[in-house]
Structure 1
Amino acid sequence: MELPKEDIGKFVALGGTFRSHLDEKDRTYRWPDLWIVPSEGVINEQETIKIPERVEKVKPGSEITAVIGEEIYEADETEAWDAIKGFTISNDVTASGDWPGWSDPDHGMITGVGYKLLPTFSPIFSEYVEKSEEADYNNLSVEVRVDGDITVSGSTAQMAFSIPEMVSFASNICELHENDVIALGDPGNPTNFLDNADSVTCKIEGIGELTNPIERV
């Protein structure tokens, strides 16, 4: 099923959703972080990720991404699951150097969400697969390759929250409509940065494969 970037409504992103990522950051989450990706951040496969010279230590993040099929607000988990019409894959590109991280230099984490909102930093595949049974998403392999080398290898079994729980959470913050998308987090712990790479491929078993060239600008 096709969902090009022009047809996407809100691009909602969740962070802190994988236990492995939480271990990487040494943080405890009662619920996910949430932010809204600006339209200029969204690109499709084969479009170029443009990394500004002023940022560094740019990480990829292969994320299973829910596609909403009907309007929901303040949904419970059953209503949230029923509102999903399919899944696609997105890449949570995140710079992790000093700027523009948290304004407090003594903050325990350097990376702030400002690093995730730069133009072209949220690639998403322009097709989605229709939803199947919830249990089918409990242990899907999640992978990132940078210039052909594996830099992330994990599984949706590492999620700290269920998919219905995360979509319900998002719906309790903002109204969700058909063709809104919700990126549900990634395993974290990449072994390579994108700073000097030529391409990155994110793959999720049964969902898709998203490849983008990379350019320093």
Structure 2
Amino acid sequence: MGELDLDTIGTFVALGGSFSTHRRMDSQPEWPILWTVPKQAIIPEGEPIQLPPYVEDVVPGPEPAVVIDDVGEGLFRASVEEAADAVKGFTVSNDVTAKGKFPAYPYPDQEGSLGRGYKIFPTFSPTLSRYEPLAADAIDTDTTVEAVIDGETVVSGSTDTMDWTVAELVAHVSKILRLQENDVISLGDPSQPTGYLDDASEVICRVENVGELTNPVQRLD
């Protein structure tokens, strides 16, 4: 197991739409959408997910996340094979997202860029401050991804519904950003949550064979 904490994480890259269950079934993008997560939006395992009073319809997003290995001057415009070799291992992230309206979110199509802009969206931490040193193809198929709110499973899916392999996704990101050691790429989630964090006490995100991430939930006055 490898150590990873807020001080050692480099660029945090998030992908959306990589699971077929997280988009309209009649929509097949050429590549998933990509954005970078600001450092202030990352919190460790065990720290409360603090929900401001004006935020509503908040859902968890359990995601497998890739940790990039030492690749010298960086991984840039990599082939799929080079991308696979650059995977150090996997951890777990929680792409907490506000679906409801709130200040600075006047239009529905701004969710991707602004719905995660608070310090607590998304929450992220490697499980127990570590990652699992697995090969790039270790979770490509038949790996369960779940979220549990107060003991109830609200997201349950599988990496079988990912439209790209992990190596393909890493190679795609490398065509946009030069990836360095301990950069993290969160690969997306199966979506279709059946519960909200609005009145919850705790949320657990699990990725089979990788680990689980637990955070309490706190509603602010």
**TM-score between both structures, scaled by the size of structure 2:** 0.90
CA 1:98–1:175: 2 relative to 1, 3 Å: same
Question: Which sits farther off after the overlay, 87-96 or 53-62?
Answer: 53-62
Question: Which residue in the other structure is 1:22 paired with?
Answer: 23
Which runs of structure 2 are paired with 1:90-169 in the superposition (5 Å)?
90-99=93-102, 105=107, 109=109, 111-121=111-121, 122-125=123-126, 126-132=129-135, 134=137, 136-169=139-172
CA distance in 2, matches of 1:168, 1:100: 36
Question: Which sits farther off after the overlay, 59-68 or 44-53?
Answer: 44-53
CA distance in 2, matches of 1:8, 1:78: 24
CA distance in 2, matches of 1:45, 1:181: 16
Aligned-pair RMSD on alpha carbons? 1.8
Which runs of structure 2 are paired with 1:188-207 in the superposition (5 Å)?
188-207=191-210
CA 1:119–1:77: 2 relative to 1, 3 Å: same
Task: Say whether 1:11 aligns with 2:30.
Answer: no
Which runs of structure 2 are paired with 1:170-209 in the superposition (5 Å)?
170-209=173-212
Question: Which residue in the other structure is 2:67 paired with?
Answer: 67
CA distance in 1, matches of 2:112, 2:101: 9
CA distance in 2, matches of 1:112, 1:13: 10
Question: Which residue in the other structure is 2:36 paired with?
Answer: 36
Q: How many residues align?
A: 213
Per the TM alignment, residue 74 of structure 1 is displaced from its structure 2 partner at its CA by 1.0
CA 1:27–1:118: 2 relative to 1, 3 Å: farther
**Partner letter of residue 160 of structure 2?**
A
Per the TM alignment, residue 27 of structure 1 is displaced from its structure 2 partner at its CA by 4.3
Question: SS of the counterpart of 1:120?
Answer: coil
Question: Which sits farther off after the overlay, 125-134 or 173-182?
Answer: 125-134
Question: SS of the counterpart of 1:164?
Answer: helix
Name stretches of at least 5 consecutive residues in structure 2 with no aligned partner: none
Q: Provide runs of 4+ in structure 1 moved above 4 Å.
A: 100-103
Name stretches of at least 5 consecutive residues in structure 1 with no aligned partner: none
CA distance in 2, matches of 1:184, 1:101: 26
CA distance in 2, matches of 1:45, 1:129: 16
CA contact (8 A) 1:93 1:116 kept: yes
State the Cα deviation string for residues 149-181 of structure 1 (Å, max 9, x = none): 000011011101111111111111111100000
Per the TM alignment, residue 118 of structure 1 is displaced from its structure 2 partner at its CA by 1.4
Per the TM alignment, residue 202 of structure 1 is displaced from its structure 2 partner at its CA by 0.2
Per the TM alignment, residue 111 of structure 1 is displaced from its structure 2 partner at its CA by 2.6
CA distance in 1, matches of 2:99, 2:76: 33
Question: SS of the counterpart of 2:50?
Answer: strand
